[in-house]
A and B are shown apart, each in its own frame.
Chain A
């Protein structure tokens, strides 16, 4: 039973990590740029949830769930600002320019959050309730199940958008060959802006989901960008399903090892495993050549 509970906890954490990694890899594919601000955007989403929660009318049920669309929209807007300020002016410069500009954007977010919220850990409201459910002896936090459900819905929505719609085809074409996409009539800059908005909205959703069970501090982003980076590396650089699978694996590993040993040991082993994967299988566990990525 404990194993099952750990599995649910791991899946919940993995579902939130998956949103972070998904946003990261979408931007990576569309722009070939590593968005180092992704972790800080998760933090920003969490603190946005914290800041907005008191303004919701008290008579409304399910405050966390109602916050979700608001956080998604506001964070998508922040993604547009990030793209306009940190990516578009530098898109024809060497990739290192965007690395640095996104790191700078992350630092601005971190310091802005410190000024506005202070360094103390904060908690956002739960999506449904802070209670637990007894499923035939398996006691699980409702928030864990809600995290899994919401992340699954958002990921399914992304898959539908990219796989079934004209907009999704244009987003994928832009990610695979932007010049050829233009030659097919695709407005590539608009697609890049939309990708940043989506990636940042996913980061914000992950922040809101994580900020209830795991709390949020202004410096939480550093750990999360590393996790996203590891998930994308494990899953195959540029692979969207690989990023989601990589995130789930990381979280299950983290929760499993933490329960037997400790969190610092889990982190140490995670980084060691990453090094082994980079040496032994640099294309990632599920990776295929980048040119073939979906």
Chain B
């Protein structure tokens, strides 16, 4: 169910305080496509996602969402135009209830907000029974589901996920990636950064390998050369 690119990144350079973490990187993600962004720690995966969202300033390059240039917009504008973000470490709002964590990310009227809440609870039934609990009381897996659900409440056209399996048991990580597949199947473009290559590849149709901020491979999962992963994670 993939089509024209929804997210297009061209020659993006980004970093912190003059240090380049993402170097002239290009990639695209189409509607309904799940792309795995793989690389060792420090390869630039998180910086790339943050730069796409605008949380890290870009030093060069272009970012387009459905053909519209968004590189100069504030993060909140990009979110309202259709970017969703699930950060590394979940970063749910700890003192707010599960329901409030979800509702705060919605930009729709009450009736539609409630419908979207029901959709999130259908995707993550474990959250429904905890709707009034403060988020800090949830387990790591439930917090991850909440972080994904919160991003979905903004009805994103492109969903960016940063290390969604980090710190989760294999079973819970499997559930999160099953949800990622389901989200992509609805037509959302998904870009998921992971260190756990096996899990990410199980959910993705295409893979982008990063090393030292540069893309060293971009292609369908089936055509991934055997030594490319080793090069991305161990150098070569």
The chain A residues found within 8 Å of chain B, CB to CB, are: 166, 169-170, 172-173, 176-177, 179-188, 291-294
What are 16 A-B pairs at a CB distance below 8 A? Answer: A170-B104, A172-B93, A176-B95, A180-B87, A180-B93, A182-B55, A182-B76, A183-B53, A183-B75, A183-B79, A183-B85, A184-B150, A185-B80, A185-B107, A292-B94, A294-B96
A166 cross-chain contacts in B, Cβ below 8 A: 103-104, 106
Interface assignment of B122: CB less than 8 Å from any CB of chain A:
no
B94 cross-chain contacts in A, Cβ below 8 A: 176, 291-292
B85 cross-chain contacts in A, Cβ below 8 A: 183
Contact yes or no, B154 A185, CB < 8 A:
yes
B150 cross-chain contacts in A, Cβ below 8 A: 184
A293 interface neighbour in B87, B95, B106, Cβ under 8 Å: B95
Cα–Cα, bound, A169→B79 (Å): 17
| A172-B95, A184-B154, A185-B79 given; A292·B136 CB < 8 A | yes
| Nearest 10 CB-CB pairings of A with B | A185-B79, A169-B104, A184-B105, A182-B75, A176-B93, A183-B85, A180-B91, A294-B95, A293-B95, A292-B136
Cα–Cα, bound, A182→B78 (Å): 10
Query: Which of B74, B87, B105 has most A Cβ within 10 Å?
Result: B105
Chain B interface, DSSP helix/strand/loop, else mixed: loop
Contact yes or no, B75 A177, CB < 8 A:
no
A156 to chain B, nearest CB (A): 19
Task: Scan B105-148; emit 1 where CB is below 8 A from any A CB, else 0.
Answer: 11100000000000000000000000000101000000000000
Contact yes or no, A182 B74, CB < 8 A:
yes
A293 cross-chain contacts in B, Cβ below 8 A: 95
Query: Which of B87, B103, B104, B136 has most A Cβ within 10 Å?
Result: B104
Cα–Cα, bound, A254→B136 (Å): 36
Cα–Cα, bound, A292→B154 (Å): 24
B134 cross-chain contacts in A, Cβ below 8 A: 292
The chain B residues found within 8 Å of chain A, CB to CB, are: 53, 55, 74-76, 79-80, 85, 87, 91, 93-96, 100, 103-107, 134, 136, 150, 154
Cα–Cα, bound, A50→B229 (Å): 74
Query: Which of A177, A183, A294 has most B Cβ within 10 Å?
Result: A183
| A179-B55, A184-B150, A293-B95 given; A172·B79 CB < 8 A | no
B55 cross-chain contacts in A, Cβ below 8 A: 179, 182-183
Contact yes or no, A169 B107, CB < 8 A:
no
* Closest chain A residue to B91, Cβ basis: A180
B87 cross-chain contacts in A, Cβ below 8 A: 180, 183
* Closest chain B residue to A176, Cβ basis: B93
Cα–Cα, bound, A173→B91 (Å): 11
B155 to chain A, nearest CB (A): 11
B151 to chain A, nearest CB (A): 8
A179 cross-chain contacts in B, Cβ below 8 A: 55
B105 cross-chain contacts in A, Cβ below 8 A: 184-185
B95 cross-chain contacts in A, Cβ below 8 A: 172, 176, 291-294
